[in-house]
Amino acid sequence: MRVVAAFVWAVAGAAWALEEGGVGSLYDQHFPPLHPNCTQSLTDLLLRQESQLRESAGILKEILSEIKGSLARTAPSTEASCSGTFRKFGGTCLYLAKDVKKTWDAARTFCQDLGGDLAVFRDANALAEAIGYAKALGIPRNNNVWVGGTDRAAEGKWKWVSGEDMPRGTPFWGIYNDIRQPNTGRGENCALLFGNDGFLIHDGQCGWNSLPLCQTKPT
Ligand SMILES: [Ca+2]
């Protein structure tokens, strides 16, 4: 509104100044003096135009908002996902083959054939998610689940198949019948989730037949 008023005053003021300066006659030849009614008409015109521009700006904003919403709905998702039978848990994909029983080595080959390896857990939350997964699948407590840990290369030095050291103690390894795991030395060199101990980690004989817990990265 102030802009419109200033413009009107500027036009009227300029016409008046030209007349006062002696070049008014030249100005009048080209721009006859505005009749007071004309000034009012110009003001009305500018006010109407301002109102229309505001209305147009509002409509354009609505259109822009619609376009943004449409783009957001049609844009492809960039969130990583897990392929095939694998399920996503945080930043990893797990697949517990509940109907497959194999030795630790055969279970590892089974997982590698699916593009992954036996599962490893770098923190307690990751292990807790895997235990929750096993329980949700209804794995019987007398079943065990192979994970990717072994001390076969050097007795007592438990390593993940990724080459990292396995964590020791709670809450990773179980304490069963007051015996802290791992407890069987050279007799048991492969790591499993022991059903009868709430699927906490135990050492087991690599030749036992247990369920493979496979892991891949989301893609
Ligand atoms: Ca051992």
Q: How far is the CA of 166 from the centre of ligand 1 (A)?
A: 13
Q: How far is the CA of 75 from the centre of ligand 1 (A)?
A: 51
Q: What is the pLDDT of residue 19?
A: 47
Q: What is the pLDDT averaged over residues 71-77?
A: 62
Q: What is the pLDDT of residue 47?
A: 77
The answer on 92 and 19 residing in a single domain is: no
Q: Are 182 and 150 in contact (CB under 8 A)?
A: no
Q: What is the pLDDT of residue 36?
A: 65
Query: Mind listing the pLDDT tens digit for each residue in 90-122?
Result: 899 999 999 999 999 999 999 999 999 999 998
Q: What is the pLDDT averaged over residues 116-138?
A: 96
Q: Are 194 and 172 in contact (CB under 8 A)?
A: no
The answer on 35 and 9 residing in a single domain is: yes
Query: Mind listing the pLDDT tens digit for each residue in 19-49?
Result: 444 455 555 666 666 666 656 776 777 778 7
Q: How many Cβ atoms are within 10 Å of 203's Cβ, its own excluded?
A: 22
Q: Please tell me the total number of residues recorded for the chain in this structure.
A: 219
**Which residues are placed with Cβ below 5 angstroms of ligand 1, an ion?**
151, 189
Q: What is the pLDDT of residue 76?
A: 56
Residue 81 has pLDDT above 80, yes or no: yes
Q: How far is the CA of 156 from the centre of ligand 1 (A)?
A: 6
Q: How far is the CA of 148 from the centre of ligand 1 (A)?
A: 14
Q: How far is the CA of 102 from the centre of ligand 1 (A)?
A: 19
Q: How far is the CA of 157 from the centre of ligand 1 (A)?
A: 8
Tokens of 92: 């990893």
Q: What is the pLDDT of residue 65?
A: 80
Q: What is the pLDDT of residue 137?
A: 96
Range of the structural domain that residue 33 is part of: 2-74
Confidence at 61, pLDDT banded by 50, 70, 90 = confident
Note whether residue 81 is domain-resident. Answer: no
Element (H, E) at 23: none
The answer on 143 and 96 residing in a single domain is: yes
Q: How far is the CA of 154 from the centre of ligand 1 (A)?
A: 8
Query: Mind listing the pLDDT tens digit for each residue in 154-213?
Result: 999 999 999 999 999 999 999 988 899 999 999 999 999 999 999 999 999 999 999 999
Q: What is the pLDDT of residue 10?
A: 45
Residue 215 has pLDDT above 50, yes or no: yes
Considering only residues 66 and 214, tell me which one the structure prediction assigns the higher pLDDT.
Answer: 214
Note whether residue 187 is domain-resident. Answer: yes
Structural domain count of the chain: 2
Q: Which residues pair with 176 in a beta bridge?
A: 179
The answer on 142 and 187 residing in a single domain is: yes
Q: How far is the CA of 193 from the centre of ligand 1 (A)?
A: 15
Q: What is the pLDDT of residue 24?
A: 52
- 36 Cβ contact partners less than 8 Å away, ≥ 6 residues apart: none
Which of 39, 74, 109 represents a domain boundary (last residue)? 74
The answer on 133 and 54 residing in a single domain is: no
